[in-house]
Every structure is written in structure tokens, then in C-alpha cells.
Amino acid sequence: MIDLKDLDPASLEAFFAERGEKPFRARQVLRWVHQRFAADVSEMSDLSKSLRDTLCTVAQIKAPEVIRDTTASDGTRKWLLDAGNGNAVESVYIPEDDRGTLCVSSQAGCALDCAFCSTGKQGFNRNLTTGEIVGQLWHANRTLLADGATRPWVEAGRAPITNVVMMGMGEPLANYDAVVPALELFLDDNAYGLSRRRVTLSTSGLVPWIDRLRDDCPVALAVSLHAPDDALRDRLVPINRRHPLDELMAACRRYLERAPRDFITFEYVMLDGVNDQPSHAAALIDRVADVPCKLNLIPFNPFPGSEFRTSPRERVLSFQRQLMDAGIVTTVRRTRGDDIDAACGQLAGQVQDRTKRRLSTRIPVVAR
């Protein structure tokens, strides 16, 4: 059985062409699945009965299986979705006054093993399919609507989720072939119809894939920097050993030739005593000097067994001030949903709890 959410607009057209159907069938089905959030082919009332009957025999709309659905006191809502074989992924809804953002996962686990990341500590389980990636947006919109979401743009007929950030579990560029069709669906007018500026992909710095993304589907790009020099970044973000900073910065400059925003967002997790000193800020200012960028400082979110501490608030603010004084727009990410462990880098905590026995052999024991 085909999951219709696995097919990007071009594949869906090819799917219908093979069956002797016109291209507009693809557009109709896209709208049913991604705008009306149909859960079954039988709902598609403007397709002929015979087409619906044949479609039912080969295709379905596979709804994600929700293991847990938690809402934090600030309205942040987290869905833990089954990924089979004892694995699960999370997607997080972050409501704000003027937008609804969904933080989407791309892999169950992650192979890149950044030192401060809970998902990395879990190890790599598997890539999500396009259907599972898009399914997170489908599920969030569908559920929020069913729950009677009352945002001004929803009342005007738009979907509750207005922005997508690929910042959940996994490294999206390490699952390129499933992620790009998902991005195409986020952008397509017959599907989610989001502008390229409202779709952000965050990467730890897989340089060749940054170049491919620029050519295939340039959405807004966030790059997880976390250190101003190679020695420190090698330690915090091990992929840096393969693609060091000079190479990464050059890729960022190339990306901006096609990017929907004229800046890169650099993410920088603030680790007490590790990368948060005035000397680090000074080196960072030099490092990003020739890349139009914004800096987003992320207070480190601890998780059980993590070896790092969160930088004191004062240090984060003076780090921010130093960058701002050098003319770099710098924001400090507000921690959302911390009472349900939904903040950056905390995703997967529950997965570990749920599968503790099986995973315990693979989670590196962190001293201290």
C-alpha cells in the first residue's frame, strides 16, 4: 500500500499519469490530504466513485500513531509518535501571538553524536519516510483544528501551523532523499502552501548537502555552529572533523546566493565555561564576519546524564551584548515547554525511558 503522504507533487502526478489519469487529479488529491487533512480515500468526494475504488486498493493515508500527547503550561504541545521497533519521534507545536510553529523530526535518533544533544546520545535508529515527516504537520494541523483552534488566521481559513522548523530529532540533511520531497509538500500551493521563509531547516553542517539543498529546494537555513574555532567545534559537533569551519562558512556564503532570506541563522548553544567566554564571543565575531547572519543563542537544556551545565543568564546576556555591539543581530531563544521536556535537544528523553532496557547498552555513560 502506498502512503499518499509519501508522494511529492511531481510523484503524485506521475502516479496518476501511470494510471491514465489527468494531472489535475494529483492536485485534487493533494488538497484533500494536505489542506483538508482527509484520513481516508473514501472522503475524496470530487473523485469519481470508480477512481476512489481503485485508489483505495493501492493507496492510503497513514496516520501517525500517537504514543503520548502532552501540553505544557505555556501552551507548547508535544506529540510522541511511534516509529516502530520500540522507537519514537517527537514533534512540538509552539504557539505564538502571530504564528503557530511546528518543530519537526527527520530521523529516529541521530548518528552525528553532538556532545550536548539528547537525540545524539540515543544513537541512530532509522530515517523517517517522507510520509512520516509530512505526517507530523498533517497530524498537528488536523488535531489542532479538531480541538477547535481559534487563531485569527485559522478563522480566516488558513491552517493552524504557519511555520515549520526542521529542528526536532535527527539531522535533516542526513536524510536528504526523504526530506526534500517533504519540503516540496510544505511549499506547494496545493499542499501546505508555506513560503520558503516560513520553512527553516537546521543542520549541523553537512557541507555537500547544503550545496545540494541550495540547488534543489532553498528554504531558510539555520546552521548549528556552537563554537568559533575548529578545536572546540571538533569536540562539540564531531561532523566538524569532516567539514571544518572554513568549508562550512564558504558553503553558507554559497547558500545565500539562492536563499529565501538574505542571512543564515547561526545557532549557538550556551554551555557553562565551555564556549561562553568573552574570548569565544570575540572569535565568533571574526568567524562570521563575511557571512550575512543572525545569531540565535540557545540556553543549554539539560537532560539526564548530560555532562554540561547551562550558562548563567548574566553570561548569556553579556555574550549577546558583545555580539550586538559588533553589529550582529543576536537573539536569545526563549525556552518553551520546559515542564514537558519539549525544549531543543531534550527530545528523545521519553523514548529512552520507554525503551530503557534495549537502549541502555548503547547510551554512552557520561562521567560526572
Under the binding rule (CB under 6 A), the answer on residue 301 touching ligand SAH is yes
Point out which span in 109-117, 127-135, 254-262, 293-301 binds ligand SF4 (CB under 6 A): 109-117
Q: What residues contact 79, with CB distance under 8 A and at least 6 apart?
A: 64, 66, 68, 69, 90, 91, 92, 93, 136, 139, 140, 143
- The yes-or-no answer on residue 65 being catalytic is no
Under the binding rule (CB under 6 A), the answer on residue 299 touching ligand SF4 is no
Q: Which residue shows C-alpha cell 537546521? A: 202
- The yes-or-no answer on residue 43 being catalytic is no
Nearer to ligand SF4, 110 or 179 (CB): 110
Nearer to ligand SF4, 22 or 212 (CB): 212
CB 267 within 8 A of CB 298: yes
Size of the site for ligand SAH (CB under 6 A): 17
Minimal distance in Å, beta carbon 351 to ligand SF4?
13
Ramachandran assignment for 61, one of left (phi > 0), alpha (psi -120 to 50 degrees), beta (any other): beta
Task: Tell me the C-alpha distance between 229 and 222, whole Å.
Answer: 18
| Residue ranges with strand state E in 30-123 | 59-60, 66-71, 77-84, 87-96, 99-103, 107-109
Nearest to 164 by CA among 192, 206, 126, 132: 192
Choose among ligand SAH, ligand SF4, none what residue 267 binds, the Cβ cut-off being 5 to 8 Å by kind: ligand SAH
SS (H, E, C) 244-292: CHHHHHHHHHHHCCCCCCCCEEEEEEEECCCCCCHHHHHHHHHHCCCCC
Task: Pick one of 200, 204, 311, 352: the residue that binds ligand SAH (CB under 6 A).
Answer: 204
CB 206 within 8 A of CB 174: yes
Choose among ligand SF4, ligand SAH, none what residue 131 binds, the Cβ cut-off being 5 to 8 Å by kind: none
Task: Tell me the C-alpha distance between 100 and 202, whole Å.
Answer: 18
Minimal distance in Å, beta carbon 46 to ligand SAH?
39
The residue annotated as part of the active site, out of 90, 171, 184, 267, is 90
Q: Which triple of cell numbers denotes residue 307?
A: 555532562
Nearer to ligand SF4, 29 or 81 (CB): 81
Task: Pick one of 41, 220, 251, 269: the residue that binds ligand SAH (CB under 6 A).
Answer: 269
Q: Which triple of cell numbers denotes residue 39?
A: 484520513
Minimal distance in Å, beta carbon 42 to ligand SF4?
38
Point out which span in 29-37, 40-48, 113-121, 148-156 binds ligand SF4 (CB under 6 A): 113-121
Minimal distance in Å, beta carbon 79 to ligand SF4?
18
Task: Pick one of 15, 116, 124, 192: the residue that binds ligand SAH (CB under 6 A).
Answer: 116
Cα of first residue to Cα of last residue in the chain, in angstroms, is: 49
Contact mark string toward ligand SF4, 128..167, x via CB under 6 A: ----------------------------------------
Task: Pick one of 29, 33, 102, 110: the residue that binds ligand SF4 (CB under 6 A).
Answer: 110
Give the residue nearest to ligand SF4 (CB).
Answer: 120
Task: Tell me the C-alpha distance between 19 and 280, whole Å.
Answer: 60
Contact mark string toward ligand SF4, 208..227, x via CB under 6 A: ----------------x---
Burial 263-284 (b: 16+ CB within 10 A, else e): ebbbbbbbbeebbbeeebbebb
Task: Pick one of 120, 160, 181, 299: the residue that binds ligand SF4 (CB under 6 A).
Answer: 120
Q: Which triple of cell numbers denotes residue 223?
A: 546552521
Choose among ligand SF4, ligand SAH, none what residue 113 binds, the Cβ cut-off being 5 to 8 Å by kind: ligand SF4
- Which positions are annotated as active-site residues? 90, 344
